[in-house]
A and B are shown apart, each in its own frame.
Chain A
Amino acid sequence: MATRTNSRPPPAKQPDAPRVAGPTAGGRTAEREKPLYEQVESQTAIAFEELVSKPSFGRLLAMTGENVAALARIGSDSADLALRNLRLASRADMTRLARQLHRTEDKLERVLQEVEALRDQLASADTANHDSRRNGVDRP
């Protein structure tokens, strides 16, 4: 196996354009502030990325996810129970119905595929028969 790697380095960073002095003192201040601000922002971004890479942050996030999922489940089950007691269709009932529809659709899809396969077989058999008959007739 020969792997052809076509690698391209990132575009070289263009040298900073010469700073053009602004027309006002306020403009010059803003020009000076902007790179400083961007530097602070990029350092903060790096610091936060390091923070989220820590295993302890991962554990915190995982536990938060588990707790939120459990709370969502409790809320959903409680709402379903309340609706069912009111003799109204709940989310769980709709889901059950949708699953039954999916199962029916799965079966229909498989039946359709079988029908198409049989139709293809019939078509190819027809073609073969037709060819053999024609060859038989044409043959001297």
Chain B
Amino acid sequence: MSVIERIASAPSELFELANVLLTTDAAAIGVTPREVVWTHRGTTLYRYRSSQRLHAVPLLLVFALINRPEIFDLRPGASLIEFLLKEGFDVFLVDWGVPDEEDADMGLEDYVCDELHWAVRETLRASGASELSLVGWCIGATLCAMYCGLEQPDDPRAAQSGEAVTPVRNLVLLTMPIDGRGSRYATWVGDEDFDVERVAEAWRVIPGGAVDFANKLLKPVSNFWTTYRRLADGIADGTFSRSSYQPMAKWIADNPPFPGRAWAQWIRMMYRDDALARGRVRLRGNRVDLARIDQNLLVVTAAADHIAPRAGTMPIFDLVSSEDVTHFDRPGGHIGLIAGSAAANDIWPELGDWLAERSDR
């Protein structure tokens, strides 16, 4: 293309670029049909409609407290949920909702001991199963691990055996942080001079935009410039796909606030004290001991994960007492590994096979 041709096509390319950016919010995400099974506060448990259930053990998907769980069901043809339904799983999803100031007092114990615990209970009631598979991603994976490792002194079976008694048969942890002290976040918030409790108290709920800005600041040039430059290049050379770009861009831009108390607990636990790996986390007086995790365990790490670096996940293998432990270590990023364009052919079939082998009566 000559310089004159490039100049001549620039206005239409700019126009299309503006159109893509301005209409991103209208992209449809999370469109797989589903029904509400249970709600409590902002939390909603969904069940996805399926006509071909082949496996007895249902799946409960749990996403992080930042961003929305629609990443599990991004768009038709690129939806993990759609794939799991085709594989014959009974799929449930817990959505933490969009917290507001009235949720500022929600801590990690509320998410693990109430919301997740009750979502598990309702999943079992709705499916009629006695066990389920718990699939957590990012902070959601850490919450799942905490749930499985939580002491349950009130449960007579637990008191008798000394082991965790949960209805979780299979535990899948996708790009999960356990020890964040080696990450870039720790450089930012790991210093005791940064008073997380004061910030949490002042802000009540940490605005989603602030969390998103911090996440993007991990790779500032890539996130604030290269993404848009590539988009413009794609439009210019005709390789741009609106249906691929817009759902992901919409999902990335949708950031719910983080309840202040849970945020402060997370910073302390993950980036300062290494409390989870050391077994020093207590939720409502009950200790979270990852050694209590004895479920069939699948851990997925991404080599280029800058949000939950692989090194921060690896301690899990020295902590759990599961007999059946599998580790998938793949090239890719924190989100791209599971929701990227290559995931449907790469990690999903492996994930589906792993679950299928362990999901029958």
Contacts and interface: CB of A to CB of B under 8 A. Distances in A.
A133 to B, nearest CB: 26
A48 B217 CA distance: 9
Given A3-B327, A95-B101, A52 B202 contact: no
A86 interface: no
Interface stretch (B18-26, B57-65, B185-193, B250-258): B185-193
B202 A69 contact: yes
A73 interface: yes
A126 interface: no
A59 B118 contact: no
Interface in B287-344: 303, 317, 320-323, 325-331
B101 A1 contact: no
B272 interface: no
Given A41-B226, A73-B203, A8 B1 contact: no
A130 interface: no
B322 A1 contact: yes
A130 to B, nearest CB: 20
Size category, A interface: 35 or more
Interface string B155-188: 0000000000000000000000000000010011
Contacts, number: 131
Given A6-B329, A72-B203, A91 B101 contact: yes
Contacts of A44: 221
B184 A26 contact: no
Given A9-B331, A10-B331, A69-B203, A62 B191 contact: yes
A59 B198 contact: no
Contacts of B40: 105-106, 109
B360 interface: no
Nearest to B40: A109
A32 interface: no
B222 interface: yes
Contacts of A109: 40, 118
B221 A45 contact: yes
B100 interface: yes
B361 interface: no
A53 B329 contact: no
Nearest to B5: A26
A10 B336 CA distance: 14
B221 A41 contact: yes
Contacts of A29: 3
Contacts of B121: 113
A27 B229 CA distance: 19
Nearest to B187: A58
A22 B222 CA distance: 29
Given A69-B199, A109-B40, A26 B1 contact: yes
B303 A105 contact: no
14 contacts: A1-B320, A1-B322, A1-B323, A6-B327, A24-B1, A24-B2, A30-B1, A41-B225, A59-B193, A62-B194, A66-B194, A99-B105, A106-B41, A113-B118
Given A11-B331, A41-B221, 7 more contacts: A2-B325, A6-B328, A10-B303, A10-B331, A26-B4, A73-B202, A102-B102
Interface of B: 1-4, 6, 40-41, 100-103, 105, 114, 118, 121, 125, 184, 187-191, 193-195, 198-199, 202-203, 210, 214, 217-222, 225-226, 229, 303, 317, 320-323, 325-331, 350
Task: List the 3 closest pairs (A to B, CB-CB), nearest first.
Answer: A98-B102, A10-B331, A45-B221
